[in-house]
Structure formats: structure tokens, C-alpha cells
Structure 1
Amino acid sequence: MDRKITIRDVAKHAGVSAASVSYVLNGIDKITPETKQRILASIDELGYQPSLTARCLSSGNSKLIGISLPITEKGDIPGVLLENNPFFGEFISGIENVTREKGYDILISGVSTNEQYKDWIQRRKLDGIIMLGVYPKSIFEEIQNMNIPIVLTDAYEEYAKQFHRVMVEDELGGYLATKHLIDLGHRKIALAVGSVIKSHVNYKRYQGYKRALEEANIEIEPSLLFEDHVTFHGGYRIGQKMLEDSCKATAVFAIADIMAIGIMKAFTEHGKKLPHDLSIVGFDNIKFGNYTMPGLTTMSQDIILKGKVSAKMILDDLEGGKRTNTSITLKPVLLERDSTMNRLD
């Protein structure tokens, strides 16, 4: 096996000190341009690859951005979350698109306790964190004094304002999705939702649903409210429940595309025709929604842009040398496909 080229080999080849090579590798302007070019030529000729660990120790930066996924259900691990909800994969692709250009890598994890969270950050020497989903206040209290930039997504809590936040107008999205169904003549509109107690996002989208019904003088019927996990299987169970109960709804607003797709699966397995037997609107505009039959009408939030904005917030703080806190709110847009139609009398 060939011996690994070291910084001392480069220094000897270029006829300079190891310190001069280190200056070049770390962008420190302490040598002449001629010497710098000679060192770069030696690095290229010898095929020297700097040790990432050594460079991190030298610069004090790990070049790692942590992405934290929410552990809310028993058995949740990052791999399962990524498999069960494409939203996370699309969001992370937006982050990676930005961080890679700046020479940063990403590290994905899921932690469930305060101690694990703080230990993960310190052990991995993360330069910044992007947190997806819902977390207890105690975790934020644990990390607020850590001197690294932190971005939260869809965090409505008052104490979240001390961090960067990337938001979506969730209440507006719920309102527009439900209004679309009302405009098509539907009066019996079901809601498929996750816990409105545990999640502000779920609650906001429910509030939008409620506002649209009240505006149209349509009574909110508890029998048309279905709550389950925000997953494909949660949506599938809701679809089965609607069928078992002979639900009178002619349309449904699902607060996430992945739930809507589960409902569609349950209905088609029972020989139902969509949208003739049920019009359905989702929320997110995940890629899978374009592949369903029929194509899923949805409230589109630009998931990849959301990831890119989150990454840029982190990198701007790192380049500026200080931690700031800004909030950006994106507006969802109705994307009509083929899963909705005028109500049939």
C-alpha cells in the first residue's frame, strides 16, 4: 500500500516549512504569491489530500451542518422518517444543494431527550443545526446558549423567535384548500389531520379549514374530523374509517400529501373512483403527488426552497461570524391537478 502523503512531504517538495503549507491550506495570507503557487503545484503533483480532522482542529470548524428530524412516535428513527414521508427527503435535498457549494457536509440524526441533543451537537462539533418538526421547550432551553446558528422550521412558539425560523402560512393554506372544495360545490368536507394539540402546524391548518367553512355558513361536523398520524398509513386508516362509517363527505382536505395519498389508496382498493366518489386536496406538493392516479390537487409549498433558505441562514451566520435570528414566511399556492371536481348531485 502506498504511503499517505503528509503536509511535511509537501513542504519538503516545495522547499518551504510545514507552517507555510498550513497557511495555504487554511487561506492565511502570510506568504508571497510565488511561494503559494509553488506549494499549490507540489500539492497537485504529489496528490496530497488534507486531513479533514486536522483542518477542523486548525480552523475550529467541523464543516458539518446538523439536520435534526423529529422523534415523536415509538420506533421513529431518521431512516424510517425519510422512508415514510418524502417531505423530509425533498427538504434535505434543498439544504444539501446549498451547503455542498460552500464545502459543508450534512449530518442527519433524530434525538428524543435534552441530554442526547446537546451531546450530539458537542460530540459532532456541529457548526449549525436545522431542526425539522416539533420539539419540547426544554430542548430549546438546553441549546439556546450554544454559540452556533440554529434554524427552526414551522415553529410558532413564542420562545422560538430567538432562533432563525422558516415558516409557511399554514392557516392560509388550510383556508384556500377548503375554499377550493367549497367553490366546487362541496358542503360535506372532511378533514384528515394529525394531532392539533401537539402540533401548531396541524392546528393552524385546521383553523384555516374552520375559517373557510364558517365563511361559507357551513356547519363544522365533528363526525367529519379524522385524526391520525401524519403518514401514509395514518391516511390509509382514515380512508378505511370513512368507508366503514359510510361517511357522507363528498370531499376531504388532508393536511399533508402523504396522508392524502393514503386515503386515495384506501378508496381505490374499495373500488371507489376518484374524484367522482371523493374529491381530495393535500398540502405540501411532494413529488409523489404528481405520480398518483389521479394527480393530487394540493396546497404547494416550495419544499426545496424551504431547505435552501434554511441552509443559507446558517451559512450567512457562519460567514458573518455572529448568530442572528430572522423569520421568513413562505406563501402556499393552490396547485390544481385531477383529484378534485365539481360536486355531483
Structure 2
Amino acid sequence: MTGQKVTQESRCTFVSVATCAYSGATLLAFLLGSHPEIATVGEMDGLIPSENPEQYRCSCGERIRDCDFWVRVAAGMSRRGFSFDVGHFDLRFSAPVSRIIRYIRMGSTGVRLIDSLRDSVFFKLPSERRRTAALAARNVAFIRTVLEVTGKRIFVDTSKGPFRLPALARFSSLNLRAIHLIRDVRGVVASRIRHGTTLPVRKMARQWVTSNRRIQGLLRGSFRDRYLTVRYEDLCRDLEVTVRSIQDFCGCQKLSPPLDSHGFEHHILGNPMRLHAGSAVRLDEQWRTLLTRRQLAAIRHVTESLNRHLGYAEEATGEAKEQGQRNEATNS
């Protein structure tokens, strides 16, 4: 079933957390979702294909099909003229099939005018305009439904795709903002290794560069006055100051973050950590004991310029190199 974009309702705020995997987005979702004005379901793309919706558990602990929150969301979507199933959200903005068009669409020049002209040309293609407009209307309906169900006014999304924010900018009246959440590449690579990724370290580092360059280009081009850069390390080291600055950016009351964000009602999808019992926020720097000297050197070779630009001093030159040598000796 299809529906029309809702225009008579009050303008609400949509905040996209633009980041790459293993950068702390789920942690941020729990912290922000504990605020009385902010709603989030984590990754609004919904379940990944490998997940079984009959067994998948919402972060509240209930099976997602039995969760009252999701039952109310489905009913709210129906009232807005859209069918909705928790097994298939049908909210994802997928990449164009053509490899060339996909490359053009996912990139950014970092210049607002050029990116705007590119998007204008792209959206003049009748099929793409119809498809994107319809999907944007469905996304807006979902966002407004979640805000209605929760009684909140700011929606935060932690999905990783690059297309939702530009599409909503063109086909919705939402008040759009973005947070570029970054984490030291060494921490990202170490987390991926711990979670079973077998890609070469150099390739993971390149993916980190590509993802963050793309995010920078998009935000500096089309959202330069509507985005905030947040470092995962700052979030963990100075929780109070960082969370309050994010709240201020989102346009809500500045409140102290909860000691245990899991103590609030949440309905967050994505990272398995959403199911674990709450605890104090702690900085994860296991890369210091996990990565070897060779791995650190490979990462540094690929990412040194961007890592420095994002505010990460190359401490690996001394302390981390020594630790890498010890790790290498231990693993020998």
C-alpha cells in the first residue's frame, strides 16, 4: 500500500548519525534515546536479511513481533496509508544498479552547488524521481509514527547508508541535521578483527578512509551549517560535555546523560550490544594490545593523513609502536 507525504503535521527534526561500522553508533543511540525529547530505533533500515523476524529480539527483551511498541508502529503506519511488517521495513535507500551511476551518487565534490546540480540532474530521471519520492514518503511516515508513539519530537537514525539524508532533503519538509561520528581507525580495525572480520588490515583501513571521506564530502557540501563532528573517544572520555553539546545541536534541553542508559525503555535495532545489561561508559582501546607493529604500520600507511585531520595525533609513532612490537612478539 502506498501513501502521501504528510504535510499538515508539525515540522519535526531528523538527525542522521553518519558513521562507519564499529564507531560507537549503538552506544550513542542508547545515550540519546534516553532523553525525553529524542526517539530512536537505532538503524531504521530494519532487520538485515540473515535475521529471523520470528526469533529476533527487540532491545526491550521481547520478540520483535510481540513487542507492543512495534505493534503500535505498524498500526500508526497503517493509519498513514502504509503497510508495515517488522520483518521487512522497506525503508532502505538502495544504491542504483548501474555501477557508474552508483559511483557518482555515492561520492561528493564537497561543493554544495555542484552536488546540488548533480542531484537535480539525477532526480530529473522520471523513474528515479518516482522511486525516491515514494521511498522518502514512506520514511517520513515511519519517522512521524515513531515520534507519535513515543510522544517525542526529535528522531535519531544510526543507519549507515549514504542516500537517506540527500533524499529527505529533497523530498521532505523535515528539519534535517547530521552528526559525523568518528572513531580512531585503529579502534575500528581492532573491533572488526575481534568480531571475526578476516579482511586484510590494509583493506579495512581503506574502507574506513572511503567511508569517512564520503561522509565529509556530503556534509560539507550540502549540510555544512547543519552538522556536528563527534569523536567516539571524546564521548567516552568526557561523556557529560559531549552529550550536552549533541543535545544542544539537536535542539533539545541539555540534560546530564544517565548513569545507565539501558535503564530506560529502548527499542533499538542493530548491534548485539543493545541486548546487554547496562554499565558505565568505558573507552574501548583494545587496539593497543591487539594490533601488531606490522598491522599498525599498514594502517598508518593508508590513513595517516585523514587520521591526523580528524584529530588523532600519531601517538603510534612511539607508545603504540612499542606496544605493537610487544604484541608481535607475543603472537610469534
TM over 0.5: no
Q: TM-score, normalised by structure 2?
A: 0.29
More strand by share: 1
Return the structure number with greater relative CO, CA threshold 8 A, min gap 6. 2
Larger Rg: 1
